[in-house]
Amino acid sequence: MKLVDFVKSQRKIHGLTQVALAHKAGVGLRFVRDLEQGKATLRMDKVNQVLQLFGKILGPIDWRPDIEDKS
């Protein structure tokens, strides 16, 4: 699941508006909007502030791009 989708779904599951999420996480409303819209550059410490509300933090995951066999 993408970060954007996770944050949106968790916010809705917990009945939070973007304003309430920003307040509880100690980040700005603009940050929450940027996060939920998939902005490519975000501060990791602020992302973690939001994720910690849902018992999560950023971490490495396995990722492999699709590799086409050209033989």
Residues of the chain below pLDDT 50: none
Whether 57 and 50 have beta carbons less than 8 Å apart is answered as no
Q: So what's the pLDDT on residue 63?
A: 82
Q: Which amino acid is located at 69 in the chain?
A: D
Which secondary-structure segment (H or E) carries 21? helix 18-25
pLDDT of residue 20: 98
Domain locations along the chain: 3-52
User: Closest Cα to residue 32, out of 19, 45, 41, 43?
Assistant: 19
Question: What CATH superfamily classification does 3-52 receive?
Answer: lambda repressor-like DNA-binding domains (1.10.260.40)
Residue 64 pLDDT: 78
Residue 71 pLDDT: 52
pLDDT of residue 32: 98
Per-residue confidence (pLDDT) for residue 14, from 0 to 100: 97
